[in-house]
Amino acid sequence: MRWYWIDRFLEFESGRYAKAVKCISLAEDHLHDHFPFHPMMPNSLVIEGLAQTGGLLVCEHNHFAEKVILAKITKAQFFCEAGPGDTLIYNAKLEFIKHGGAMVTATSHKGEQLHAEVEIVFAHLNDARMDALFDPETFLHMMRMLGAFEVGHAADGSPMVPPSRLLQGELSDTPGQDAAS
């Protein structure tokens, strides 16, 4: 993933919900191009932030074994603008997960105000040609960087931990170390 549209996870419960924060800064280039002299966060990038929040929830639920992509937005409703200085709180709830994909409902709040409501459908791709596009270790790194394992917990309340197969892969990729050490 090249662009991150969330800054940090605030809450993460495996298989149920995730809460993330996005702080909008005037330093973000896209704000200067969207509406000249009226910088605002494009709704498409808010949807992407909600999709990243929900997509990582879906990925983690399956221990990063499935290749998850955004398949369709079934609903997107915006109630106000968000611009520089605003903080958006993204809430994603896993509605269902099946063999072929998953659905997440998500909201964005600007303070106490409802900013957006979105329904997102994700597809699981199992085509071997997609392996080059999906590196599970990248998602593990993203989850760590965004603090998911610091705030996350499993459905039973225990602390959320990375899948052991990804940890083993991480060790074998570390220069100067082998997986046995």
Burial of 44-79, coded b for 16+ CB within 10 Å and e otherwise, reads: ebbbbbbbbbbbbbbbbbeebebbbebbeeeebeee
- Distance from C-alpha of 173 to C-alpha of 152, rounded to nearest angstrom: 25
- The answer to whether 90 touches 36, Cβ cutoff 8 Å, is no
Mention every residue, 6+ apart, whose C-beta is less than 8 A from residue 93.
Answer: 16, 17, 104, 105, 106
Q: Of 30, 32, 34, 115, which residue is the catalytic one?
A: 34
Q: Is 109 a catalytic residue?
A: no
Please report where in the chains the tokens 């600007």 appear, as a residue: 110
Catalytic residue positions, numbered? 34
